Amino acid sequence: MVKQQELIYEGEAKQIYATDDPALAIIRYTDEATAYKGFKKGTIIGKGVVNNHVSSMAFAMLEENGIPTHFVRRLNERDALVRRAEIIPVNVVIRNVAAGSLLQRLGLTEGQVLRRPIIEYCYKSDSLSDPMINRDHIDALGLATPEEMDQIQALSRRINELLIPFFARYGVQLVDFRIEFGRCGGKIVLADEISPDSCRLWDSKTGEKMDKDRFRRDLDDVENGYQEILRRMTQPVADA
């Protein structure tokens, strides 16, 4: 049993604790929610529990399919045990369907299926509001090497190919999502989370939004969107 020690990082919706094993950390998922660079703040009751379950299931599935990740195991309702990694300050966004910031940027209609998945990179910087960058910027700024980016790009495409059918089993369409990578033991590993906070997830039949966009856009029933995802994922046979 690992023992939780001091808080080492506090993010918008999660806390990370050191443990008595220097190679391991505990992620605690909270109910805090922020949007629009922190201008909108709130609490979504039960969100941390949902995100921990969903993310743990997604990471376990990806590991089983050969994706190296930081995930070790889910510890309890809100906590997961992970390997400590040096996070690469690049957000990777993968899009299958037009939504969110892509609409205004490229003049697309929400829900338009893209001819092929699009990968975008953003520089993780609060003071610069996470600007979109390309692989030249990443190399020039020394954020990651071209070889590391080759791996990140190939892993991102494979993760998308695995996540689309994974969510589809539960009647959920994976519209787009954001992931992060880290360096751990000389390898690139998938880090952070995969949850309704970091993914756009729509009901496959009705197109209803079941993710953080309900909070961002002031839609009703924010809690139920999250709970419905977890309900479906923990009762796959009845609801598939």
Using the rule CB under 6 A, which residue among 62, 143, 199, 229 binds ligand C5P?
199
Q: Which is nearer to ligand C5P, 21 or 110 (CB)?
A: 110
CA distance to 4, 31, 137, 144, 173, per residue, from 134 (Å): 38, 33, 5, 12, 27
Using the rule CB under 6 A, which residue among 65, 76, 101, 125 binds ligand C5P?
101
Per rule CB under 6 A, count of chain residues that contact ligand C5P: 14
Distance CA 20, CA 171 (A): 41
Q: Stretches 70-78, 149-157, 172-180, 225-233: which one binds ligand C5P (CB under 6 A)?
A: 172-180
- What's the gap between Cα 101 and its chain centre? 17
Q: Which is nearer to ligand C5P, 35 or 75 (CB)?
A: 35
Task: Report the first-to-last Cα separation within the chain, whole angstroms.
Answer: 36
Q: H/E element holding 5?
A: strand 4-10
Q: How far is the CB of 132 from ligand C5P (least distance, A)?
A: 8
Residue 14 has which token pair? Answer: 């999660």
Using the rule CB under 6 A, which residue among 178, 209, 214, 232 binds ligand C5P?
178
DSSP category for residue 69? B
Using the rule CB under 6 A, which residue among 15, 56, 156, 198 binds ligand C5P?
198
Contact positions vs ligand C5P (CB under 6 A): 91, 93, 99-102, 130, 176-178, 198-200, 212
